[in-house]
Amino acid sequence: MDRLECTKNVIEAKRKKGLTYQEIADIIGRDIVWTTSALLGQNTLDKNEAQKVAALLELSKEDEEALQVFPAKGATAIMPPTDPLIYRLYEIVLVYGDTLKEVIHEKAGDGIMSAIDFTMKVDKIENPAGDRIKITLDGKFLPYKKW
């Protein structure tokens, strides 16, 4: 089964069941951000996780198997993004990317932040002036090696 088709099936089944990503994450014992990413085709569920999700969402055996396939990460992204929320995140990187790079280099040296050894957290902060969203990106620093 095509992974994009599986993702559509997952989203539709989740909607029909009235489940949240947090509820699904709790069932498989993973974080909401990682679980959502996996269900959207950007990470891979192991067999046990895929079986639990398939049973919960009443997905086909083909969907269950597709959830276990290693993804082509980022392959479906439209650049530049057209979704307003995703575009704003892209805009943040466009405006502050060089700044982040310079500050990371100044604090940690010449290297990069890993997207492999990585976690992310999304929080809603209630505020009388308008609720805020706090995104925490936590990636291992990988220095460039000399040889």
- Residues acting as catalytic residues: 88, 91, 114
| CA nearest to 112, candidates 74, 147, 138, 143 | 143
Distance between CA 31 and CA 73 in Å, rounded?
19
Question: Residue written as tokens 């943040």?
Answer: 92
The dihedrals phi and psi of 90, each to the nearest 5 degrees, come to -60, -45
| CA nearest to 115, candidates 67, 57, 74, 54 | 74
Give how far Cα 38 sits from Cα of 33, 100, 128, Å. 9, 27, 34
| CA nearest to 61, candidates 139, 6, 123 | 6
